[in-house]
Structure 1
Amino acid sequence: MWELVDNSSLDQNSAYKYLMMSEFFSDTCVIAKEDEKLVGFVTAFIPPEHPDVVFVWQIGVDSSQRGKGVASKLLNELVSREACREVRYLEATVTPSNEASQSLFRRLARDHDTECKVTERFTEEMFPGDDHEEELNFRIGPFKR
């Protein structure tokens, strides 16, 4: 996952973050492979104080796979997992300039015939020493079970 992100425009996290997510949140992390090569992933978790929400930390797809619906398949796999049985909402933060992710989450809402509400989450000022855009919260749901 770290290498896929390193070769993309996604925000790079430490290799340790990817190991920790895979180790402790494996039920809510999904990978896609082609010929045994990692071509996509979702890292997500269910916040203890909100057991009806799965929060997508990051989603990445190798440039060779873009436009093939890999990201949508990853998200659909995530919300259909047993670990997400009680989940009614999927949340993720997205920068205003990330139109691809915004489209992905809006499409997920359409595909599940539910809502996609966008609200402020993290302002630019909350990212110290960084030229980081604000992060908008995308909330998709409720999912019908």
Structure 2
Amino acid sequence: MTAAQADLRTDRVERADDVSIEPPSVADGAALWRLAKDSGTLDVNSSYSYLLWCRDFAATSAVARDADGETVGFVTGYVRPDRPGTLLVWQVAVDARHRGRGLAGRLLDALAARVAAERGLTALETTITPGNTASERLFASFADRHGARVEREVLFGTDRFPDGPHDPEVLHRIGPLAL
């Protein structure tokens, strides 16, 4: 799919089902931390890190807001310094009240489209621990929607984590993307 001129605006807000998708602001940091904590599956970073993320990586992240303006989902990512056409997705979370409606997929699609329009994008990467079926389905579905293949390899084995037992992190490289 090709971005139309109107789609190239960086301040664009996408709306569907009374949920808007837009870049985060520092004011969203606490909500991101809460959503990560409440997910029950994500590694929760310090609240400070989410504040920094919303400040320094807003251009490569997105939040979903409900009709009342509450942050109900997010995706955080960054462009890899050694691969400027690759967006690494760090975390995706959706509030329990909004799950099962495709919001995580819409967040990924909106973020990928925005990054592609602003910087060019040929691939998306993420890591998923074995057995995280929901994340595997989310990213496989993203690959299908964008005509891309998925390559997998262990990025960090269990022996790399100094803070106790941790499942391996499997890198999912999705590309080339048709955005």
For the aligned pair, the TM-score class normalised by the smaller chain equals: over 0.9
Aligned equivalents of 2:164, 2:100: Cα separation in 1: 31
Pairwise CA distance, 1:82: 4.5
Unpaired runs of 5+ residues, structure 1, are: none
Aligned equivalents of 2:70, 2:90: Cα separation in 1: 22
- Look up the equivalent residue of 2:141 and give its one-letter code: R
Aligned equivalents of 1:120, 1:6: Cα separation in 2: 25
How many residues matched?
145
Does structure 1 residue 2 correspond to structure 2 residue 33? yes
Unpaired runs of 5+ residues, structure 2, are: 1-31
Aligned equivalents of 2:48, 2:133: Cα separation in 1: 28
Question: Identity of aligned pairs, percent?
Answer: 39
Does structure 1 residue 131 correspond to structure 2 residue 165? yes
Deviation readout 1:13-65 (Å, 9 max, x if unpaired):
01111111111111111000112111100110001111010000111111111
Q: Give the TM-score, by structure 1 length.
A: 0.95
SS in 2 for 1:42: strand
Which runs of 4 or more aligned residues in structure 1 lie more than 2 Å from their structure 2 counterparts after TM superposition? 82-85
Aligned equivalents of 2:100, 2:154: Cα separation in 1: 28
- Look up the equivalent residue of 1:2 and give its one-letter code: W
Aligned equivalents of 2:99, 2:170: Cα separation in 1: 23
SS in 2 for 1:131: coil
Higher mean alpha-carbon deviation, 2-11 vs 48-57, is at 2-11
User: Is this contact kept in 1: 2:80–2:88, CA < 8 A?
Assistant: yes
Does structure 1 residue 22 correspond to structure 2 residue 54? yes
Q: Give the TM-score, by structure 2 length.
A: 0.77
Aligned equivalents of 2:80, 2:104: Cα separation in 1: 22
Whichever of the two has the greater Rg, that structure is: 2
Pairwise CA distance, 1:85: 3.6
Aligned equivalents of 2:123, 2:79: Cα separation in 1: 10
